């Protein structure tokens, strides 16, 4: 298994942070929190860079709200500054992690997506049903509150096996630990 060193500087580079901002802001420019961040964009990006470089960065709290798509879901949203950092981390870590994913996982992956997932499903159905001449079943499912329920200790251990850059790993742990699950009483209300 390939391990990765010296990626923290790539994550926190000004070039990567500004690139992350460009990616993040797409289709969000009308949002008030995004406009506020953009109003002092250079200051905000440089401050984020300084906080990361000096290891003073602390992930902020999440705000919770409900959406319907079509069922009601409780969404947790990080502040713009943190979400820009999430994009910066993703840009560097995604190529490292992508090679470990199974080929038939299509959600939230570069070059994959819903349409390619449907095409792969159609090919699998055609094969299993012997050109649609036999029965075939497909299961469509979603893991409710996945990030709430995934074991964060295991997730951090998986990252630690591949990422040997201590600063990058500490940053990932900071981001993972920033999300606090709701109390059982809160879960019952949803």
Residue 188 pLDDT grade (very low, low, confident, very high; cuts 50, 70, 90): very low
Residue 185 lies in a domain: yes
At 92 the pLDDT is 95
Higher-pLDDT residue of 113, 22:
22
Residue 102 pLDDT grade (very low, low, confident, very high; cuts 50, 70, 90): confident
Residue 127 lies in a domain: no
Residue 85 lies in a domain: yes
- CA-to-CA separations, 127 to 94, 105, 116, 123, 158, in angstroms, rounded: 31, 18, 17, 6, 34
Helix, strand and coil content of the chain, in percent to the nearest 5, comes to: 55, 10, 35
Region 12-18: what's the mean pLDDT? 98
At 181 the pLDDT is 59
Residue 115 lies in a domain: no
Distance CA 86, CA 113 (A): 20
Residue 175 lies in a domain: yes
With a cut of 80, say whether residue 120 has pLDDT above it: yes
Q: With CA atoms as reference, report the closest residue to 5 among 175, 144, 165.
A: 165
Task: Count the domains in the chain.
Answer: 1
Residue 156 lies in a domain: yes
Distance CA 3, CA 131 (A): 43
Residue 50 lies in a domain: yes
Provide the residue range defining the domain that includes 74: 8-99+144-189
Percent of the chain surpassing pLDDT 70: 93
Region 76-89: what's the mean pLDDT? 96
In this structure, the strands spanning 62-68 and 72-78 are: antiparallel
At 182 the pLDDT is 54
Residue 110 lies in a domain: no
pLDDT digits (tens, 9 = 90+) for 24-54: 999 998 999 999 999 999 999 999 999 999 9
Region 161-183: what's the mean pLDDT? 88
Distance CA 45, CA 16 (A): 10
């Amino acid at each position: 298994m390939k391990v990765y060193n010296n990626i923290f500087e790539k994550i926190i580079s000004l070039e990567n942070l500004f690139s992350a901002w460009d990616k993040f802001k797409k289709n969000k420019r009308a949002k008030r929190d995004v406009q506020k961040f953009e109003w002092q964009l250079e200051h905000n990006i440089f401050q984020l860079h300084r906080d990361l470089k000096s290891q003073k960065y602390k992930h902020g709290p999440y705000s919770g709200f409900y959406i319907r798509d079509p069922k009601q879901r409780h969404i947790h949203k990080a502040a713009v500054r943190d979400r820009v950092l999430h994009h910066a981390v993703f840009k560097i870590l995604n190529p490292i992690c992508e090679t470990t994913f199974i080929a038939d996982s299509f959600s939230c992956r570069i070059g994959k997506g819903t349409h390619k997932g449907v095409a792969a499903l159609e090919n699998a159905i055609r094969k299993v049903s012997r050109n649609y001449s036999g029965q075939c079943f497909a299961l469509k499912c979603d893991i409710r509150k996945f990030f709430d329920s995934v074991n964060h200790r295991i997730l951090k251990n998986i990252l630690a096996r591949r990422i040997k850059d201590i600063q990058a790993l500490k940053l990932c742990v900071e981001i993972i630990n920033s999300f606090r699950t709701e109390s059982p009483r809160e879960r019952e209300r949803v």
